[in-house]
Amino acid sequence: METVSIARYRRDDADDVDSADAATSGTASDGTTADGEWIAIIEPNFTGHRWRYVEWVAQACVEGGHRCLVVTDTAYAEHPLVQRILREARPDLRVVLLDLHTVPRGLQYACSVYMRFRDFYARALADISRTTRVKLVVVPYADYFFYTLAALDTPFGKTPWIAIVMGMTFHHAQAGLRTPRRPFVDLVKSMLFRRGLRARGLRTLLTIDPTLPDWLARMTRTAASPESTSHANSRPTRLAYVADPFPEIDAVDPQIARARLGLDARTRYLLVYGAIGERKGIRELMQALMHKGDAPCLVIAGQQDDETRAFINAHAPHLTPAPVIFDRFVPDDMERDLFSACDAVWLGYHKHYGMSGVLVQAYRFGKPVLASADGLIGWFCRDGALGPLLDDLEPATIAHAIDTLAQGWNARAPGAGIARMDAHLLARNTLDQFKHTLQDAMV
């Protein structure tokens, strides 16, 4: 995944409303000015998995002895994470709501999503710095603006910052991953990326893609960087791998989980989980199952976008057995029940080449996956040990993969997991490992 998105953009009206007045005027959530120095976690988008990263980074800050401000857009005032922070009212963890989605005037903002996001981050730090001393900025999803650093340097002025990138794919072809070949685009983005590593104040850049540090190391060994003599920093920032985390949560008894979810005790269930949109491959999966007589029952869990909801509603009546649909935000306890109850997890994503937290969750619960052979998902699953790989999303390919998967079901009770491979790279994808990596970068 190398696209960037937010829930919506708001146009800057003619009366020029100052973003600092939109919600909390840059103060902490209790309306008071914060004392001392704080770490600011800035994330304008709480959709998909992004809010989870904010939560985990905030926990790493607090557990490391730091005080932390979570900064997001006013659109997420009712989000469960925001409400939980407000409800707990901790002295070392606060939330700031700002208008981060208003697009300022200017051709550069109208034409470039990267420039719009860059403005959101710069505006956020400027607003909170009026009342709060910020010693460090953490950006959980720097893909939004990272390519602008080559020409414009940091959006955070003199404030040091660390960041995570999650969807860089320009190096995948050279790393041997199955991904669309874009020689010119990939070359340009690789140059912008390497130059961005020299941005002022960037202490550490973390990536959830284990192939990216390896690629950079090879590039560094084979050629001297032409950018090194023409940028503010004489040395590039350290690039390190941080494993995409999932908490160490024990599965519950599958039949107990099924009872709580209202699922049948004997049916085989295939879970589609997360933000349910086109890239989930849900269209291709449902169309394949419509023509398969012995299909497992789909469990579709997570908030759906409007277009995907319309498709699911139109096609669900044609599936046998009828799918079980939870079109809503999924809390932690329900998530645990879903991964405990279902027999396998769908990862046949459409034009998605980055990492997937759902893959980590499936591994953690010992559930086999039906996975696309493309991108990082295919790279992690390349030996077939985690489940059948899908070379494409044609109905016959999907049907064959389900049949292959079903051969293992006969030896296991419904909902039962399989043995995890502790030597697998995904064994490192724990929340503790993630926090330790972040805390080391904050020092």
Spatial neighbors of 167 by CB under 8 A, at least 6 apart, are 1, 2, 3, 143, 353, 354
Alpha-carbon span 21 to 16, nearest angstrom: 11
pLDDT of residue 235: 64
pLDDT of residue 435: 96
pLDDT digits (tens, 9 = 90+) for 100-132: 877 777 777 777 888 889 999 999 999 999 999
pTM, 2 dp = 0.84
Distances in Å between the alpha carbon of 401 and those of 77, 315, 406? 42, 21, 9
Regions of the chain where pLDDT drops below 70: 1-35, 223-235, 421-422
Any idea how long the chain is?
443
- CA 365-371-377 angle, to 5 degrees, is 85
pLDDT of residue 12: 52
Residue-range domain boundaries for the chain? 10-242, 254-427
Spatial neighbors of 6 by CB under 8 A, at least 6 apart, are 44, 45, 47, 73, 101, 117
pLDDT of residue 48: 79
Please name the helix (run of DSSP H) or strand (run of DSSP E) that holds residue 85, with its range, or none: helix 80-88
The pair of structure tokens assigned to 11 is 């146009």
SS3 268: coil
- What DSSP string runs through 141-206? -GGGTGGGHHHH--TTTTS-EEEEE----TTTTTTT------HHHHHHHHHHHHHHTT-TTEEEEE
The pair of structure tokens assigned to 147 is 């390519």
pLDDT digits (tens, 9 = 90+) for 367-412: 999 999 999 999 999 999 999 999 999 999 999 999 999 888 877 8
pLDDT of residue 147: 95
Question: What dotted CATH number matches 254-427?
Answer: 3.40.50.2000
What CATH architecture applies to the domain 10-242? 3-Layer(aba) Sandwich (3.40)
